[in-house]
Structure formats: C-alpha cells, structure tokens
Amino acid sequence: MMRKLGIVGFGAAAIGFMQGLIENGRINHYHVTVFERGKDHMHNTISGVRMDGKIFISRGMGGELDIPIEIQQKTVIFYLTHSGYKPTLKEKTNMVEYLKSFEKDGKKIEYGESFSDEETYRIFYDHGFEPVKAYFFHLGTDVLKETNNNLFEYFSSFKNIEFSFDTTVEDIEIGDKHRVFTNKGEYLFDEVVIAVGRSGHKLMDRLKEKYPHLVKENYYVDIGIRYELPNHVMEKFLDMYEVKVRYKARTGYMCRLFCQNPSGKVTLEKYEDFTTVNGYSDTHHKTENTNFAVLVTTRFTEPFKDPTGYGKNLAKLANILAGDSEKVILQTYGDFKEYRRTKRLGRVLPTLNDNSFILGDANLVFPSKIRESLVDFIDRLDEVIKGVAYFDNLLYAVEVKFYSNKFNNDIIKNLHVIGDCSGWTRSIQYATSMGYLRA
C-alpha cells in the first residue's frame, strides 16, 4: 500500500525533495500531497525561487551543510532545464564549460565566477577581505515565472502528486502518524516534510514551542542595508557577477557583501507587520544601477534569546521613521557618514518606487557598532573598487536576514524539516540540495 506523505510548502527545498524521490524511484511508494499557502503555483511569496533566482555553486556560502559539488551541479542543470535553457555543448567533461553553454532563445545563461583570477583574489585579500569562490547562474525574476510554471506542470504530471493551494498549515501534531491542521481541515500522514522557508516562521515558532527538544536555539541575525550605485562603478568586476567577500570590521563584527544584482532593482520585502529591503534583477529588463546588501552578523549570548525580535524591531524603527509600516529609509552614503538627514539626491537615482521610501537618516536606526561596521566595510571596499563610497550612492535601511533555529532531523524518523526553516540553509542551491539529499 502507498504511504501518505504530506509536504508543507512548495519552494526550493520541496522541489529538491520531490526531484530526489523521483530520481531514486521512491515516488512510487507514496501518495504525495503538497500544501502551499500561495493561491496558485504562480503566487509571489518573497523567495529567491520567485524573485531574482541566482543559483550558485559554492562550498563557502549558502548554508551550513556539506553539499557535494556534483549535487550542486545537478541542481543548476535541473533549474536551467525547467527554465527552457538547453546545453549547446554535448560533452560534460568540463562541467563549468558545459553549464555556461546553456542557452535560451539564442542567449547564453547569465554567468559569473567570483575570484577565479588569482591577482584579483590577492588584491581583495591584501585589503583585509576574505574572498569567497563561487559560480553564479542567474535566471532573473521574469524567467522564474516560466520556471515555476514548468516545474508545477512537471510534478503535476505524476498521478500520485497532488497540490493543495491556498492552504496554510497552522499546526502539526507529531505522532506515529502526523496530524496536519490547515485552514481547510485536518489530515493524517505517515510521513511529513516541512519546507516552509523563512516566510513560514509562524508555524516553526509554534513547533518550537511544542517540541523544544527538536531544535537548537540560534543566537545570531544579519542586519544591514541595501546599497545602490551606478553600474559603471562595478563594471570592472562584472565577470564575477557578485563580488562575494567577507570582512572583519574594526568593531570586531563580521560583514559581508551579499546578493549583488547588476543592472537590477531594489524592492521591498513585506512581512505581516514590518517591511525591509531586498534586491533583484531581470534577464530582459535592465537598469543603470547595481545593488547589493551589506550585512553585519550580530551574535548574542544568553540570557538574550530573541535575535529575530532584535532584527524585527530595528526594521520597525526604520518604518516608524519613514511614517509607514510599508516604507523604508533612503539616504545618500555621504549624508549617512556625516550624520545628516538626506534632503535631496545627487547623481544616483533610486530604482525603488518613490512611494516606497522617504529620504531620512538611517543613523537613527542602527546601533553604533552596526553603523560603524557598515561605514568601515564600504570605505574599505572603496579602496579596491573606486567609487563604491561616492557621496551620492544610495543606502536603504533596513535589510535583515533572520536565521531559523537549527532543527535536528535525526530524532523523528518520519518527519523531515528541510530548507531555510530547518536553520541549515539560506539559499536556493542549499535548500534544493538539502531536499534532494534528504529524499
């Protein structure tokens, strides 16, 4: 008899898990129900599989798991193929060349390779940066729509996989069989996969409260800004796609450049009661600006136990100053550095909609250790990339990355917590690969 398997969430980790089941043939042992709170497969939950879609191959970022390179390559091929890209090289002997050759409508996949050139690596290293090596493949928000459609059709073609959209899982009762409570009713499963990403934090908080022995507390949060500057400043490093570096600031805090979007746009990331910033880029619609996040890792120790609350409150503070829970603060870098409120912009025009920000002073939001770390990072980067610290470059506050508590998957055999909600991943690549390996 087929076992009943419930999957909560249809994002990167669930995609990897289902693909894993299909490839190892175990899909035939299950009847799978996927619960997704989005209204259909094209819903636009804030997630990298809905927006931007930069898929990388790297062992130095993206999660705290050791994902073999061969699995990471498989993940890239899987997404590229479902985005309509096809390889123009037949030989897979040189995997990077093979992946770079993927093409769609006569256009090669957008590709970058960080720090493959030894001299560049050394220049950044000599300035105190820790360069991270990675290969980037960029799908773009526009192409992701097609990708999600193709993935949905592919999984739906299996008779034993069914989707239940507009269905929010509110609670799970763990037992020999697991009881899943949704806004549409209760369900009983032999096995359950929880893959709700960062946006599923409510369900995860509930489970943590009920089953504290399954999770290990996390004590850190990444807080910072989205930074925007003209494309030409970053032009020299465009072949990297993302200048992936970490840097220990003079405050002792670790900073990192994250999620770079050449010719991209800044966007809002809306939560239930606060709003932060993020960025993305399309494959077809290009802008004159590049954006990236500068994040400061803030670690706490006991008795403090609410890093998420700390990050949320800083984001809320920026919203309060902006006079609206759906607005953020925009400031020029020069004004930020000189503790002045920005009243007018200079040469760089924002790509975020005018009604999503107010010109203000982010110094009123950040504690001084975070503020000092941000300034130290940007000024140091300017020594290597001239123009990064121009007076009129733009700074949006606040960008926050919350880390979930780490889930122990070894305790309950028929319960699997995968992807970002497990606390072990923070990228499309690692979430998808974790799902794949778990399957």
**Rounded to the nearest whole angstrom, what is the least distance from the CB of residue 254 to ligand FAD in the complex?**
19
Of 27 and 434, CB closest to ligand FAD: 434
* DSSP 8-class letter at 411: S
User: For ligand FAD, which is the closer residue by CB, 28 or 156?
Assistant: 156
DSSP-assigned letter for residue 345: -
Q: Is there binding between residue 266 and ligand FAD (CB under 6 A)?
A: no
Interface characters, 198-227, with ligand FAD (x: CB under 6 A): -xx--x------------------------
The residues in 48-87 that bind ligand FAD, with binding defined as CB under 6 A, are 48-49, 51-54
Is 37 among the residues that bind ligand FAD (CB under 6 A)? Answer: yes
Helix H or strand E encompassing 145 = helix 141-156
Distance CA 260, CA 291 (A): 6
Which H or E run contains 231? helix 231-234
Q: Exposed, middle or buried: residue 146 (CB in 10 Å: 0-12, 13-18, 19+)?
A: middle
Burial bucket for residue 354 (CB in 10 Å: 0-12, 13-18, 19+): exposed
Alpha-carbon dihedral angle through residues 114, 116, 120, 123, given to the nearest 10 degrees:
90
Taking CB under 6 A as the binding criterion, the range among 47-55, 101-109, 124-132, 319-327 that sits at the site for ligand FAD is 47-55
Note whether 80 and 109 are within 8 A (CB): yes
List, as one string, the DSSP characters of 9-25.
--SHHHHHHHHHHHHHT
CB of 24 to ligand FAD, least distance (A): 19
Structure tokens at 186: 């209760």
The string of DSSP letters for 247-279 reads: EE-TTS-EEEEEEEETT-EEEEEE-SS-EEEEE
Q: Which of 113, 269, 335, 376 binds ligand FAD (CB under 6 A)?
A: 269
Nearest to 375 by CA among 414, 348, 401, 336: 336
Question: By CB under 6 A, is residue 262 in contact with ligand FAD?
Answer: no
CB of 81 to ligand FAD, least distance (A): 18
CB of 48 to ligand FAD, least distance (A): 2
What minimum distance in Å lies between the beta carbon of 37 and ligand FAD?
Answer: 4
Q: Which is nearer to ligand FAD, 35 or 336 (CB)?
A: 35
Q: Is 46 in the site for ligand FAD (CB under 6 A)?
A: yes
Number of DSSP helices (H) and strands (E) in the chain, helices first: 11, 25
Binding mask 282-321 for ligand FAD (x = CB under 6 A): ----------------------------------------
Tell me how long the chain is: 439
- Exactly one of 6, 9, 224, 423 binds ligand FAD (CB under 6 A); that residue is 9
Interface with ligand FAD includes 264 (CB under 6 A)? no
Interacting positions 160-179 with ligand FAD (CB under 6 A): 168-169
Quote the crossing angle between the two packed helices 141-156 and 69-82, to the nearest 10°. Answer: 90
Residue nearest to ligand FAD (CB): 11
Stretch that binds ligand FAD, among 171-179, 237-245, 284-292, 417-425 (CB under 6 A): 417-425
Number of residues that bind ligand FAD (CB under 6 A): 39
Query: Quick one: which of 172, 208, 254 has its CA closest to 405?
Result: 208
Question: Does residue 10 belong to the site contacting ligand FAD (CB under 6 A)?
Answer: yes
> Which CB, 45 or 393, lies closer to ligand FAD?
45
Considering only 197, 224, 262, 360, the residue that binds ligand FAD (CB under 6 A) is 197
Quote the tokens at residue 305. 């136990």
Question: Is residue 419 near ligand FAD by the rule CB under 6 A?
Answer: yes
**Contacting residues toward ligand FAD, per CB under 6 A:** 8-14, 35-38, 45-49, 51-54, 168-169, 195-197, 199-200, 203, 269, 278, 280, 419-421, 426-429, 431
